[in-house]
């Protein structure tokens, strides 16, 4: 029996394909191909991707992995994981995007979200979807696209234009336009899906001005969603797994029970805590969301809800050090520079380049540096950027505690930033928790592969078998020092928020 899974991991900064082989109950990586993704910043706070470029990269990386792995006949199925909330509109007849995709980081619809909140709509939206009103989510992006492209709204209402997040776009392209679907974890990030029932809400579509006719059908995260056009790879491979990147990472880590959580440090950072089979309403401005659903409808034992906290700038803060002030020439230099100092010298960087996420949710806040003196140098900027990851993580954990979630005993981490030992030790120190990084870190791709393997029948559950011992950082900082540093961070955040209000 064919035992390879082709996992597509379409992220914010790159597109990657990986082949996983099932062996001894474990999925082991066999081949990989990756292409960087161009970033477009047409205005302040605006971030765009070229959806056609994404499709070309997916096709190229998948073909390369199939070649490296020995041919398409070795593959049983395809799994997809993707950057969430990023919105695409495309022409049904031509299969071409109508506009660049609006990326999850984009803040151009902040005024729309603020207006809806001022009109009193947030309680209804949050009760139905678990989400607050913020430009982060897809609904306001969809509406913007339909208004920005002449005739698009009318054509969408006639069924001539489709809307979707990245996985929906990719399934459409992979199936040759045969299937317009989205898995429930991605649908949960649009502000349009009822979280308890896993269905689009007509009242929310009307509120956000999104034609329901343009939206994809909602399906489960595991099971056949369509078959690839055989002209692409040589065989009609079934697509049997799909989840947004953070939910896929939750599955990859094996955080399948209530009280287990993970945080992924990528371009942004995302804490997802499994809360069990029923949605939990947050009182601390965390997001109620879906961990995974193995069916199209909620079913006991096949669904897990979650609370999530989103940090908009994590790895992107390190990229800024490299590409903005050019304090480093490559990301790995940041660790040695931070370690060259005995402390932060009172310098704090609030990396609100595209606003502040949970628990602040301030789309107008911008990056701020506080505590500079004549003694401050490049190393202080670098250290402050790395330390900001820990402070923002601590804020999310505090919010999780305030919502009554079970206390964590370990923080499971993954993502490119976890290669920085200084940053991970500082996370452990500020959060007062052991930090555990698996030996194999590609949790998003692994989660997509596991969902696809389950969907095609290669495995019978999502339980993860760990092959190698993880790296662990244990806290060594005194409670007094931890409290003092975190208080300094809170003052820096307040300064960033005040400055944004004054400039506005």
Strands 287-293 and 303-311: antiparallel
Q: 229, 246, 263 — which closes off a domain?
A: 246
Q: What is the pLDDT of residues 29-66, one digit of tens each?
A: 999 999 999 999 999 889 999 999 999 999 999 999 99
* pTM of the predicted model as reported, rounded to 2 decimal places: 0.86
Of 202, 217, 246, which marks where a domain is finished? 246
pLDDT of 470: 85
Residue 313 and residue 423 share a domain: yes
pLDDT computed for residue 503 by the predictor: 65
Which pLDDT tens digit goes with each residue over 311-344? 888 888 999 999 999 999 988 899 999 999 999 9
Domain count, the chain: 2
Q: Which contiguous run of DSSP H or E holds residue 205?
A: helix 202-208
Note the pLDDT of residue 392.
96
User: How far apart are the C-alpha atoms of 353 and 121, rounded to whole Å?
Assistant: 27
- Segment 343-352 shows an average pLDDT of 95
Please give the Cα distance from 184 to 198 (Å, whole number). 7
Q: Is residue 52 part of a domain?
A: yes
Give the pLDDT confidence score for residue 201 in this predicted structure: 97
Burial 485-502 (b: 16+ CB within 10 A, else e): bbebbeebbebbbebbee
> What are the tokens at 434?
């052991």
Domain around 323: 254-437+474-504
CA 297 from centre of chain = 23
Predicted confidence at residue 245, as pLDDT, reads: 92
CA 126, CA 136: separation in Å to the nearest integer?
14
Res 285: pLDDT: 85
Higher pLDDT, 281 or 322: 322
**Among 222, 246, 270, which residue terminates a domain?**
246
In this structure, are strands 48-49 and 75-82 parallel, antiparallel, or unpaired? unpaired
Q: Are residues 139 and 241 in the same domain?
A: yes
pLDDT tens digits, one per residue of 397-452: 999 888 887 778 889 998 889 999 999 999 999 999 999 998 887 889 999 999 99
Element (H, E) at 127: helix 122-129
- Residue 1: pLDDT over 60: no
Q: What is the pLDDT of residue 467?
A: 61
Among the listed residues 397, 195, 206, the one whose alpha carbon sits nearest the alpha carbon of residue 303 = 195
pLDDT value of residue 210: 97
Q: With contact defined as beta carbons under 8 Å apart, do 48 and 42 qualify?
A: yes
Say whether both 404 and 258 belong to one domain: yes
Residue ranges of the alpha helices (H) in 209-244? 230-233
The tokens for 67 are: 């070649």
Pair (336, 375) in one structural domain: yes
More confident residue, 484 or 498: 484
- Whole-number pLDDT of residue 365: 87
CA distances from 151 to 164, 171, 177, 436, 499 (A): 18, 25, 22, 51, 40
Q: Which residues pair with 292 in a beta bridge?
A: 304
- Asked whether residue 453 is domain-assigned, the answer is no
Check pLDDT > 60 for residue 235.
Answer: yes
Q: Check which CATH number belongs to the domain holding 371 and give it.
A: 3.30.420.40
> Which tens digit of pLDDT belongs to each residue from 282-295?
888 899 999 999 97
Tokens of 463: 């339980």
- Label residue 350 by pLDDT band (50, 70, 90): very high
Co-location of 18 and 158 in the same domain? yes
* Contact (Cβ atoms closer than 8 angstroms) between residue 296 and residue 198: yes
Q: If you average pLDDT over every residue of the chain, what do you get?
A: 92
**Per the domain annotation, does 278 fall within a domain?**
yes
Q: Is residue 259 part of a domain?
A: yes
* Domain identity same for 228 and 281: no
- Is residue 267 domain-shared with residue 235, that is, in the same domain? no
Answer yes or no: do 37 and 173 share one domain.
yes
For 138-194, write each residue's pLDDT tens digit.
Answer: 999 999 999 999 999 999 999 999 999 999 999 999 999 999 999 999 999 999 999
Is 233 inside any structural domain? yes
Do residues 124 and 118 touch, judged by C-beta distance below 8 A? no
Question: SS3 of 376, please?
Answer: coil
Q: Decide if 388 is inside a domain.
A: yes
Q: Is the dihedral of CA 448, 454, 457, 461 positive or negative?
A: positive
pLDDT digits (tens, 9 = 90+) for 64-116: 999 999 999 999 999 999 999 999 999 999 999 999 999 998 999 999 999 99
Dmax (CA) of the chain: 67
Which pLDDT score, from 0 to 100, does residue 76 have? 95
CA distances from 164 to 189, 203, 240, 241, 372 (A): 11, 19, 18, 17, 44
The per-residue pLDDT for 504 is 57
Strand order across the 303-311 sheet: 287-293, 303-311, 269-276, 261-265, 411-414, 435-437, 471-473
Cα 43 to its chain centre, rounded Å, is 23
Q: 199 and 272 share a domain?
A: no
The 3-state DSSP class for residue 72 equals helix
Distance CA 32, CA 85 (A): 25
SS3 34: strand
Confidence of residue 301 (pLDDT cuts 50, 70, 90): confident
What per-residue confidence (pLDDT) applies to 138? 97
């Amino acid at each position: 029996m064919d035992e390879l899974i082709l996992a597509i991991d379409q992220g914010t900064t790159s597109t990657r394909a990986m082949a996983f082989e099932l062996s001894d109950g474990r999925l082991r990586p066999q081949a990989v191909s990756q292409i960087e993704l161009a970033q477009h910043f047409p205005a302040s706070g605006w971030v765009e991707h070229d959806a056609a470029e994404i499709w070309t990269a997916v096709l190229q990386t998948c073909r390369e992995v199939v070649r490296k792995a020995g041919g398409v006949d070795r593959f049983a199925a395809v799994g997809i994981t993707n950057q969430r909330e990023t919105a695409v509109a495309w022409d049904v007849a031509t299969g071409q995007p109508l506009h660049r995709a609006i990326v999850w980081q984009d803040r151009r619809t902040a005024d729309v979200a603020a207006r809806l909140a001022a009109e009193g709509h947030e309680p209804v939206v949050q009760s139905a979807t678990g989400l607050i009103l913020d430009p982060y989510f897809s609904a306001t992006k969809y509406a913007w696209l339909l208004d920005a492209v002449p005739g698009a709204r009318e054509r969408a209402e006639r069924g001539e234009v489709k809307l979707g997040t990245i996985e929906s776009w990719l399934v459409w392209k992979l199936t040759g336009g045969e299937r317009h679907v989205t898995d429930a974890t991605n649908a949960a990030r649009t502000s349009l899906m009822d979280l308890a029932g896993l269905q689009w809400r007509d009242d929310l579509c009307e509120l956000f001005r999104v034609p329901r006719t343009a939206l994809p059908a909602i399906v489960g995260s595991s099971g056949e969603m369509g078959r690839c056009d055989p002209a692409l790879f040589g065989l009609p491979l079934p697509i049997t797994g799909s989840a947004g990147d953070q939910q896929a990472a939750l599955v990859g880590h094996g955080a399948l029970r209530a009280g287990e959580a993970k945080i992924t440090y990528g371009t942004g950072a995302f804490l997802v805590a499994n809360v069990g089979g029923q949605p939990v309403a947050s009182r601390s401005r965390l997001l109620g969301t879906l961990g995974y659903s193995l069916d199209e409808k909620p079913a006991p034992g096949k669904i897990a809800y979650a609370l999530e906290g989103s940090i908009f700038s994590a790895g992107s803060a390190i990229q800024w050090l490299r590409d903005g002030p050019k304090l480093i020439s490559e990301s790995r230099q940041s660790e040695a520079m931070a370690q060259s100092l005995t402390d932060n010298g009172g310098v704090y960087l609030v990396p609100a380049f595209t606003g502040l996420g949970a628990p602040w949710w301030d789309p107008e806040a911008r990056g701020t540096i506080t505590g500079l003196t004549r003694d401050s140098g490049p190393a202080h900027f670098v250290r402050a950027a790395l330390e900001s990851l820990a402070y923002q993580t601590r804020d999310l954990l505090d919010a999780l505690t305030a919502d009554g979630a079970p206390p964590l005993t370990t923080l499971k981490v993954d993502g490119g930033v976890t290669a920085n030992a200084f940053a991970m030790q500082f996370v452990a120190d500020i959060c007062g928790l052991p930090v555990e990084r698996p030996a194999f870190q590609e949790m998003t791709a692994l989660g997509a592969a596991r969902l696809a393997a389950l969907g095609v029948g290669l495995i019978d559950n999502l339980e993860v078998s760990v092959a190698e011992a993880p790296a662990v950082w244990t806290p060594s900082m005194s409670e007094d020092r931890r409290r003092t540093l975190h208080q300094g961070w809170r003052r820096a955040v307040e300064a960033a928020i005040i400055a944004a209000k004054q400039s506005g």
